[in-house]
Structure 1
Amino acid sequence: MKTPMAVFAALWLAACNPATPDTAASTPDASPAGPVAAPPAAAPASAIADDPSAVNQAIDEALGDHVRYEAVIRQLQQAVAANDAAAVAALVDYPFATVRDGQSLKIADAEAFVRDYDRIMTPPIAEAIKRQRYSELMVNYKGVMFGNGEAWVNGICRDDACKNVDVRVVALQPTS
């Protein structure tokens, strides 16, 4: 099993280092036996960008069952898009702490979260969540990151052996 950092590094390197064409294949007469067949056509960029398999594998390896994480991620995006404070609050791990306007904000439960929803879910945070493509999520041992860190989802251990895990929103924070 790869370490979380190895998975992150592989994903990061793959995203930052696009494949370069093989120089021998790019020149038709490079082979002494004659012309070289053109390489097979690559998949369209949009098909690659929409492929969640790398994110699912990273979640499986670093955090656990990607199906549980994907469900919470999709629910969070839908709830934020609908401006449904109660649905978002149901996904958060409590007690919840964040910082707003330079001051610590502590939220004890879902009821308090709903009351302070507009203060917690600022427009830049909501936009980062709504615009995040699943296939472009960043995954590491700290969880799944939206945008530039405006939101994080992670598993919360509910027993000493960490066999019982709840996937929850663990951070909603401004990044600038």
Structure 2
Amino acid sequence: MRTTTFLIPALLLAACSQPAPPAAPAADVPPPMTGATPAKAAASTTPDAAAAGEGDARARIDTVLGETAQYEKVFNAFKAAVVGGDRAAVVEQVRFPLNVTDGKKITGPGEFQRNYEKIITPAVVKAMSGQDFGKVFVNQQGVMIGDGQVWLTGECLDTACARSEVKVSTIQ
């Protein structure tokens, strides 16, 4: 009985100190940013942090993902490139492999350019042109544009995640 009494608090303490394993992402949703801090992950589970259309996206990005300026910079550059039809500038904002419709992946810039019209569809152009950065949907997986046509995600560039890079990770 004493072993059980001491074992339960120890197990609970151990369970609380370990990060939860990531859930398997759906085919149409990008994976979460690698190396996200536990504080950011905990903040992302609050209803207010992920609520679409409530408050300013900049505050939600700062709370959930950090690096708000990077997300806004990539958003603005990608939007201008897509709406302006600047293929080279579009590719500059994309992370490869790029997730596209039906769980497929585009492996590099050449493949992207060959399939440009299939990837940057009129629906993607419409979503980008109609999206205000202050009203994007934000959760621990990234920034969603439109109804999920485009996702921006961050990727850690070092083990401490002191440096990260935001790019377009999904276009569907």
TM-score (norm 1): 0.67
1:122 maps to which residue? 121
- Where do 5+ consecutive residues of structure 1 fail to align? 16-52
Q: Number of aligned pairs? A: 132
Contact 1:158 1:164 survives alignment (8 Å): yes
2:34 maps to which residue? none
1:10-159 matches, cutoff 5 A: 12=51, 15=54, 54-99=56-101, 105-159=104-158
Answer with 1 or 2: which has the greater Rg. 1
2:48 maps to which residue? 9
**Rounded Cα–Cα distance in structure 2 between residues aligned with 1:13 and 1:123:** 23
1:23 maps to which residue? none
The one-letter code matched in structure 2 to 1:76 is F
**Greater RCO (Cα-Cα under 8 Å, separation 6 or more):** 2
Instruction: For residue 14 of structure 1, report the CA deviation from its aligned partner.
Output: 7.6
Q: How large is the Cα RMSD of the aligned pairs?
A: 2.2
Instruction: For residue 160 of structure 1, report the CA deviation from its aligned partner.
Output: 2.1
The one-letter code matched in structure 2 to 1:148 is D
1:67 counterpart SS class: helix
In structure 2, the CA distance between the partners of 1:114 and 1:13, relative to structure 1 (3 Å rule), is closer
The one-letter code matched in structure 1 to 2:89 is A
Contact 2:127 2:146 survives alignment (8 Å): yes
**Rounded Cα–Cα distance in structure 2 between residues aligned with 1:124 and 1:13:** 20
Instruction: For residue 70 of structure 1, report the CA deviation from its aligned partner.
Output: 0.5
2:105 counterpart SS class: strand
Larger % of helix: which? 2
The one-letter code matched in structure 1 to 2:48 is A
The one-letter code matched in structure 1 to 2:133 is Y
Contact 1:151 1:171 survives alignment (8 Å): yes
Instruction: For residue 106 of structure 1, report the CA deviation from its aligned partner.
Output: 2.8
1:87 counterpart SS class: helix
Contact 2:49 2:139 survives alignment (8 Å): no
1:3 counterpart SS class: helix
Contact 2:141 2:153 survives alignment (8 Å): yes
2:10 maps to which residue? none
- Where do 5+ consecutive residues of structure 2 fail to align? 1-38
1:94-135, Cα deviation, whole Å (9 max, x unpaired): 112322xx5x54322122212211111111111111110112
Contact 1:153 1:170 survives alignment (8 Å): yes
Contact 1:11 1:54 survives alignment (8 Å): no
1:56 counterpart SS class: helix
